[in-house]
Structure 1
């Protein structure tokens, strides 16, 4: 090891003596470099050798550094001469020791960047074989500094990220995603009906209070190949629907019918709603497009769902003589147990919207308002 480093010491002495500074910058050294040797010479110069691992350090003995030292002196002289007559502040020249002296196991490439000498400092950058190197800088006070850097270009880093995304895309032919939908309910295709007293009636919902929430665990399976943008998805999901009335109306069930009636006792309601919970199984075909870097962009999904009502209840909230009451009553309210319909999604990158249309009626025929449900809103999580 000592014999291998001796030519490096001689090289540094020659560079400092002729040019006041020697600076060599390593090319493409990974950010995870762990092994570094720093040698301080008597003339205040510093030699830094950085390698990726111990194995690369042991390989240094294979280089004929004594021959390289002699050849490098010629290269530096040529670079220095070129810098003196150049019109720019620096000149970069590339040499190929292994081709100049075949069979001596020299570096494949030496790149030397020579900067014109100024009043404050001067430097020469020497890079050996694009693998490891050293950086030494001298200022006007003779103070030395050194560093190493990862010189991968932005294009190379982007190519590596693209390759990683592509491998992940091809590996995950089946994936599972947590889906959280938050939106509103509205009643559509509503027909006027007659209450038990024979009065014509329609249901008027409070838009902001008639909320829809669902959470599901959806499995996606890629169709037609590893890179295909087509996917099939299936549930299950749990959903919660609120149907909050406007004004001072309330939901009641009398004589086997569910009706909306006006409160006549003088009590003023803050909230009056009918709520349901159900389990659904959506089945959809999804299109997911990606950009040139394999990042998801436009998404589109269409399909249907089937489900079953788990529970239903009404809730009244009102205040009397300074006391707030919340009356809650569980019943089936003549709601349909089974439900089915159509649903779809559309989105771009991280933003996605959903729509859900119940094809069957909300209530059983002849036992409540004749209407269907449309739910819509934003999908917080989903296809990725």
Structure 2
């Protein structure tokens, strides 16, 4: 009897393990599908009349618009000083270790003229970050822009200068016909303007901890320039160049402009 009981027990155990493994596999697949749906939603959320291709019969031209969370740009920035990536002697206080750019759109309205071409205006926010090389403080309520040296006895771990703008781009977008997998290639270009919301300098040191200062710092009240995006499905690359000076009423900073480039999600 005992050998039979042992064989039955072994068989039940094997079946149980196989069933358990099947459950784990199904659970993982379901979790993966859920994660993929969530990621796609996070980079392309729209509330309003959307620009989708799932209609049985599509007529052109057609309008679309509403609340959105799309065209999320994240990349690098470079200051261009009168055509050079090297800052002049008068702008050495703006030397930086790293510079980055982040932005996204929150509203849009446009017209699709055909399956491959549309025009739309949008609104969103944009931040440009300069991690300054030197231990300097940008002075508030001073025109033109002036700097002061920070306490040399304090060890500053962080010195970041940030500009925040409301961005207002006008886009012209071309896309290919659907590929075999249903995806498309896309190319967009246009003009972009921005309205200054604030300038911020954040400091961090062992002696004083975190410090935060807000002012316009003579940043351009309005910025304007051009941009281009190229991508596949929801992902792409972008570049933006602002053709006006980064600062205003500051002769020493004349000709200092901003170039950005990086990745776009929700394109």
Q: Which TM bucket (shorter chain)?
A: 0.5 to 0.7
Structure 1 distance, partners of 2:214, 2:182, is 47
Provide the TM-score with structure 1 as the length reference: 0.48
Check conservation: 1:251, 1:273, Cα contact below 8 A. Answer: no
Alpha carbons of structure 1 residues 206 and 360: separation in structure 2 relative to 1, 3 Å:
same
Check conservation: 2:141, 2:217, Cα contact below 8 A. Answer: no
Check conservation: 2:141, 2:215, Cα contact below 8 A. Answer: no
* Cα shift at 1:381: 1.2
* Cα shift at 1:376: 1.8
| 1:137-160 alpha-carbon deviations (Å, 9 max, x no partner) | xxxxxxxxxxxxxxxxxxxxxxxx
Check conservation: 1:259, 1:368, Cα contact below 8 A. Answer: no
Report 1:199-214 matches (<5 A).
201=92, 203-207=94-98, 210-214=99-103
Provide the secondary structure at the position in 2 that maps to 1:257. coil
Structure 2 distance, partners of 1:347, 1:372, is 26
What residue is the counterpart of 1:269 in the other structure?
Answer: 156
What residue is the counterpart of 2:76 in the other structure?
Answer: 184
Structure 2 distance, partners of 1:296, 1:174, is 22
Alpha carbons of structure 1 residues 241 and 328: separation in structure 2 relative to 1, 3 Å:
same
Check conservation: 2:145, 2:250, Cα contact below 8 A. Answer: no
Provide the secondary structure at the position in 2 that maps to 1:341. strand
Structure number with greater CO (CA < 8 Å, separation at least 6) is 2
* Cα shift at 1:296: 3.2
Check conservation: 1:203, 1:369, Cα contact below 8 A. Answer: no
Provide the secondary structure at the position in 2 that maps to 1:258. coil
* Cα shift at 1:174: 3.2
Structure 2 distance, partners of 1:359, 1:344, is 14
Structure 2 distance, partners of 1:165, 1:341, is 31
| 1:163-185 alpha-carbon deviations (Å, 9 max, x no partner) | x9564682683334522222222
* Structural RMSD (CA): 2.8
| 1:198-222 alpha-carbon deviations (Å, 9 max, x no partner) | xx73622222xx3322121333421
Matched, 1:290 2:156: no
Structure 2 distance, partners of 1:169, 1:214, is 35
Alpha carbons of structure 1 residues 165 and 334: separation in structure 2 relative to 1, 3 Å:
closer
Structure 2 distance, partners of 1:286, 1:169, is 22
What residue is the counterpart of 1:175 in the other structure?
Answer: 64
* Cα shift at 1:332: 1.3
Matched, 1:359 2:223: no
Provide the secondary structure at the position in 2 that maps to 1:170. coil
Report 1:325-364 matches (<5 A).
325-364=209-248
Report 1:228-247 matches (<5 A).
229-247=116-134
**Structure with greater strand share of residues:** 2
Check conservation: 2:81, 2:88, Cα contact below 8 A. Answer: no
Alpha carbons of structure 1 residues 174 and 246: separation in structure 2 relative to 1, 3 Å:
same
Check conservation: 2:144, 2:249, Cα contact below 8 A. Answer: no
* Cα shift at 1:262: 4.7
Structure 2 distance, partners of 1:292, 1:325, is 55
* Cα shift at 1:259: 3.9
Unaligned runs of 5+ in 1: 1-163, 195-199
Alpha carbons of structure 1 residues 363 and 185: separation in structure 2 relative to 1, 3 Å:
same
Matched, 1:315 2:192: no
What residue is the counterpart of 1:41 in the other structure?
Answer: none
Check conservation: 2:143, 2:250, Cα contact below 8 A. Answer: no
* Cα shift at 1:297: 2.0
| 1:17-53 alpha-carbon deviations (Å, 9 max, x no partner) | xxxxxxxxxxxxxxxxxxxxxxxxxxxxxxxxxxxxx
Provide the secondary structure at the position in 1 that maps to 2:247. coil
Provide the secondary structure at the position in 2 that maps to 1:201. helix
For these two proteins, the number of residue pairs brought into alignment is 206
Alpha carbons of structure 1 residues 346 and 274: separation in structure 2 relative to 1, 3 Å:
same
* Cα shift at 1:344: 0.9
Structure 2 distance, partners of 1:292, 1:275, is 41
Alpha carbons of structure 1 residues 188 and 360: separation in structure 2 relative to 1, 3 Å:
same
| 1:240-269 alpha-carbon deviations (Å, 9 max, x no partner) | 222221243443358523245553532121
Unaligned runs of 5+ in 2: 1-51
Check conservation: 1:186, 1:205, Cα contact below 8 A. Answer: no
